[in-house]
Amino acid sequence: MGLRLTYSGKVRDIYEAGPELLLMVASDRISAFDVVLPEPVPGKGKVLTGLTAFWLGLLSDLAPSHLVSTAPGDFPPEASELGDDLAGRAMLVRRADMLPIECIVRGYLSGSAWKEYRASGTMHGTPLPAGLSESDRLPEPVFTPSTKATTGHDENISREQAAELVGAKTARAAEELALAAYERGAAWAAERGILIADTKFELGFIDGELAICDEVLTPDSSRFWPADRWAPGSTPPSFDKQPVRDWLEASGWDKSPPPPHLPEEVVRASSERYATAFQLLTGSPLADWDGQPLARHGAAEAEDRPGAS
């Protein structure tokens, strides 16, 4: 009897792997405008899994995580029934009691935050300094939570509303952890030519401790900008599926299913962006990632840094 599929999303499939464990498999599926597209982006699942494992090693002194292993040899024997392509794209993780909020941190003014600021001078209801431009660096990183929508889109909420949802103590702990993780990740990335404009963390409780879970600091959960292309007043290109979004916007598609087929060159351009981000951040080519923990050297450097515990 094989593993039981408990969830199939736009990108990930999740299987029960024991009483307290799950197997999360990241596919190469890609979605845009809430629609899954017919063509996969080669290597995307490995990038999402490999970067998550890498970052969890680098952040391990800040908080525990749900990650048990990315090595296929540690997976349940039944996982072999899922195919031969699990290496590098699957994580064995512990179950967690997840917070019902997205823990978003913004270092730059972009996306929905820019739209709100342009309309009202606020970000998640909090006033910002006047005169900021799109993509401006914020005076300091800001915790800007949102709801987790089961259907439709997440809704931006204030810190006070987040506290109402999870309790003041938990909200404060989530904010502190998310900010610390963002600042650590943003500093690492900046040294390697990538600006992390914003990102979202998924946090949950494991054995009573707040832990980092799910996807961490990837091109799908963050805005990665090339540092040499950033300038306030414009939107830099990003290390993700931007070529896909740009092509769809120009195609005349009404953003309702079924989506059009993507040209090969558009798929290839997105695949190359994901792989480039992976190599810049980890120092290893994507072709070398087979599920063995790339995070080891990151964790070692974190331990050598003053103030790390």
Instruction: Give 159-172 pLDDT, tens digit per residue.
Output: 999 999 999 999 99
Query: Residue 294: what pLDDT?
Result: 66
Q: What dotted CATH number matches 98-229?
A: 3.30.470.20
Instruction: Give 260-307 pLDDT, tens digit per residue.
Output: 999 999 999 999 999 999 999 999 999 999 998 764 444 434 444 433
Residue 276 contacts residue 243 (beta carbons within 8 Å) = no
Residue 214 contacts residue 202 (beta carbons within 8 Å) = yes
Instruction: Give 179-231 pLDDT, tens digit per residue.
Output: 999 999 999 999 999 999 999 999 999 999 999 999 999 999 999 999 999 99
Helix 44-58 / helix 295-304 crossing angle, nearest 10 deg:
20
Query: Residue 301: what pLDDT?
Result: 45
**Residue 204 Cα to chain centre, angstroms:** 15
In this predicted model, which residue has the larger pLDDT, 83 or 67?
A: 67
Of 41, 88, 49, 16, which Cα lies nearest the Cα of 215?
A: 49
pTM for the model: 0.91
Of 247, 215, 221, which Cα lies nearest the Cα of 39?
A: 247
Query: Residue 154: what pLDDT?
Result: 80
**Residue 74 Cα to chain centre, angstroms:** 24
Where exactly are the structural domains of the chain?
98-229
**Separation of alpha carbons 188 and 108, rounded Å:** 16
Query: Residue 167: what pLDDT?
Result: 98
